[in-house]
Amino acid sequence: MSYCGKCGSKLVDDALFCSFCGAAVGKTKTEEFSVLADDLIERVKELLHEGNVTRIIVKDEKGKVLFEIPATVGVIGVVLAPWLAALGAIAAIATNCKIVVIRRE
């Protein structure tokens, strides 16, 4: 499943344009990382600062989605604070997490 790089909405397969915002759809790739809960917030911060990330999904050991961050270009500073606070709560509950990162190519 792919997401719009501009608005973060889900895209239909082989879409050339986002049906929600009309933005042209570019190629994306998906990466998955396993991290300990202690390193979760720092790793997410690093990924957000890389710049080509469009969405970050945090899953538990069983693959259940715990948290999803639409990392659009305008998300910085104060806007990230509530997201990172929620990640802290997740890190307190889970022991191992998987981070799925969707990037623009």
The domain made up of 27-104 has a fold known as Dna Ligase; domain 1 (3.30.1490)
Residues 7, 54: contact at Cβ < 8 Å? no
pLDDT for the residue 23: 76
Please identify which residue in the block is written with the tokens 């049906």.
19
d(CA 79, CA 85): 11
Three-class DSSP labels, the chain: CEECCCCCCEECCCCCECCCCCCECCCEEEEEEEEEHHHHHHHHHHHHHHCCEEEEEEECCCCCEEEEEECCCCCCHHHHHHHHHHHHHHHHHCCEEEEEEEEEC
**pLDDT (0 to 100) of residue 1:** 64
Q: What string of pLDDT tens digits covers the 105 residues of the chain?
A: 677 767 777 888 777 778 877 777 777 788 898 888 778 878 888 887 777 787 888 888 888 888 887 766 445 554 566 767 777 777 767 778 888 888 876
Sorted by where each begins, the domain ranges of the chain are 27-104
Q: Residue 16 has what pLDDT?
A: 74
pLDDT at 80: 62
**pLDDT value for 73:** 44
Q: What is the pLDDT of residue 42?
A: 85
Q: What is the pLDDT of residue 79?
A: 58
Between CA 33 and CA 19 the distance in angstroms is 30
